[in-house]
Amino acid sequence: MNFCDSERLMALLEKEGFCAVNSLQDAQFIIVNTCSVRKHAEDRAINFLRSNINLKRKGKIFCLIGCTANLYGKELLERFDFIDVICGPNRYKELPEVLSNIKNGEKIVLTGEVENPFIDEIKNNMDVSSLISITKGCENFCSYCVVPYTRGKLVSKPAKKIIEEVKKLVERGVKEVILLGQNVNEYGKDTGENFVDLVEKIHDIEGIVRIGFLTSHPKDVPEKLLYLFRDLPKLYKHFHLPLQSGSDRILKLMNRRYTISHYLGIVEKVREIVPNISITSDIIVGFPGEKEEDFMETYKIVERIKFDDLFVFKYSPRPKTKASKLPDDVPKKEKERRHSLILNLQDKISLEKNKAYEGKIENVFIRKSSYKREGYLVGRTETEKPVILQGEENLKGKVLKVRIIEGFRHYLYGKLCENNK
């Protein structure tokens, strides 16, 4: 979501005459986009600005934007005097004007909500893959989560606008769109539209070859959505469905509003409809009051479901949330132990799942060049598994036949099939 916001803000700033530079030394404004989901992310953002404080003396303007900015507002200016501008995620549209007129020594705070927080501008030179925020905000108030306090109420972008935007993206060379929302299944709750219809409409757009989306909340998954994975060939057969905990008691304390048996029902159904679908999830360990028995339920369910991949987080108390009023009573060491137990288990499962791809021929969408290995490309299978392969840059945006040579923990290694057969 932040990556997407930063791109759109860059497009807006470029339109207003600003340009990106390659080094901090050359910049007039240093803008840091922040995440508040865990404390660690917040600390990293502030420390980045602090560690460049010498640049302040050269008259550069420091801007802290994003969720952290909205969460603490002007309090941040009092605590960190090196920050000049605070801007929450719903107020980015005002930044170009503010930055154009700011005087040295002036302090500015832009927080809170607005009716239309979406930035319509799109960068001129786009990659073949693009993220699109279809909703902003969230009102689910999972008890551990800061997002409802940082991003505010749910606002859906009208489907008509999204369709226009996707068409514009196609004109600029985009072939793949990933639809983003804190809970995409609530898309249109505020406007009377709905997510399944939106995906179908995007699927009809010529020039788009792959569509993905995240995140889905298990309390809001209609059966119709599961059939889309089977019926829409451009849609990735990949479902990111955060579980958070394997214990009904903890799920209740988290205010997730589903039970384990409901979650298992969705997994069973979607695997029945699309047997090779890849399913990924998020887990939090060490939530307040999580006993060994609760944790073991999570462990067992991870063992039973066999996700394709898993993001495992150590619980981090967040300001304003309900859970932050409960004692953070799982010791740090114990959180670490539970974290590594699940990760080790998942390492084995992911490796086994990726090994099962060896020898298969997959239709791979070539997304980008590899940052790490020169001469290599990164693509995605129809199940959205990353594939690394050797190839020329001009293959980006194509769907090609690739033979999977080896499956690793985090990716598949493949080779282009001759004559694409």
Binding site for ligand SAH (CB under 6 A): 37-38, 144-145, 147, 182-183, 215, 217, 242, 244, 282, 284, 313, 315-316, 318
Q: How many residues does the chain have?
A: 421
CB 398 within 8 A of CB 417: no
Whole-number Cα distances in Å, 20 to 30, 34, 63: 10, 18, 15
Cβ-based nearer residue to ligand SF4, 148 or 397: 148
**Least distance to ligand SF4 from the beta carbon of 313, Å?**
11
Residues that bind ligand SF4 (CB under 6 A): 138, 140-142, 145, 147-148, 182-183, 217
Q: In the structure encoding, which two tokens stand for residue 118, read together?
A: 């979406």
Sequential DSSP letters for 55-106: GGGGTPEEEEEEHHHHHHTTHHHHH-TT--EEE-TT-GGGHHHHHHH--TT-
**Using CA atoms, how far apart are residues 243 and 342, in angstroms rounded to an integer?**
13
* Residue 416 binds: one of ligand SAH, ligand SF4, none (C-beta under 5 to 8 A by kind): none
CA nearest to 340, candidates 380, 286, 410: 286
Q: Find all residues with CB under 8 Å of 96, minimum gap 6, and list them.
A: 12, 13, 15, 16, 18
**Least distance to ligand SAH from the beta carbon of 40, Å?**
9
**Using CA atoms, how far apart are residues 82 and 49, in angstroms rounded to an integer?**
8
Bond prior to 215 in cis (omega within 30° of 0): yes
**Least distance to ligand SF4 from the beta carbon of 223, Å?**
20
Cβ-based nearer residue to ligand SF4, 182 or 281: 182
* Residue 35 binds: one of ligand SAH, ligand SF4, none (C-beta under 5 to 8 A by kind): none
Cβ-based nearer residue to ligand SAH, 157 or 217: 217
* Residue 316 binds: one of ligand SAH, ligand SF4, none (C-beta under 5 to 8 A by kind): ligand SAH
* Residue 315 binds: one of ligand SF4, ligand SAH, none (C-beta under 5 to 8 A by kind): ligand SAH
* Residue 397 binds: one of ligand SF4, ligand SAH, none (C-beta under 5 to 8 A by kind): none
Cβ-based nearer residue to ligand SF4, 67 or 364: 67
Collapsing DSSP states into helix, strand and coil, what is residue 164? helix
Interior angle at CA 186, CA 170 and CA 176, nearest 5:
20
* Residue 141 binds: one of ligand SF4, ligand SAH, none (C-beta under 5 to 8 A by kind): ligand SF4
Instruction: Please list the residues that pair with 131 across neighbouring strands.
Output: 178
Q: Find all residues with CB under 8 Å of 164, minimum gap 6, and list them.
A: none
Cβ-based nearer residue to ligand SF4, 91 or 136: 136
Cβ-based nearer residue to ligand SF4, 129 or 216: 216
Cβ-based nearer residue to ligand SAH, 128 or 154: 154
**Least distance to ligand SAH from the beta carbon of 307, Å?**
13
**Least distance to ligand SF4 from the beta carbon of 139, Å?**
8
**Least distance to ligand SF4 from the beta carbon of 88, Å?**
16
Name the phi and psi angles at 82, rounded to 5.
Answer: -80, -10
* Residue 245 binds: one of ligand SAH, ligand SF4, none (C-beta under 5 to 8 A by kind): none
Place of tokens 């420091």: 62
**Least distance to ligand SAH from the beta carbon of 68, Å?**
14
Name the helix (H) or strand (E) containing 150. Answer: helix 147-150
**Least distance to ligand SF4 from the beta carbon of 142, Å?**
3
* Residue 318 binds: one of ligand SF4, ligand SAH, none (C-beta under 5 to 8 A by kind): ligand SAH
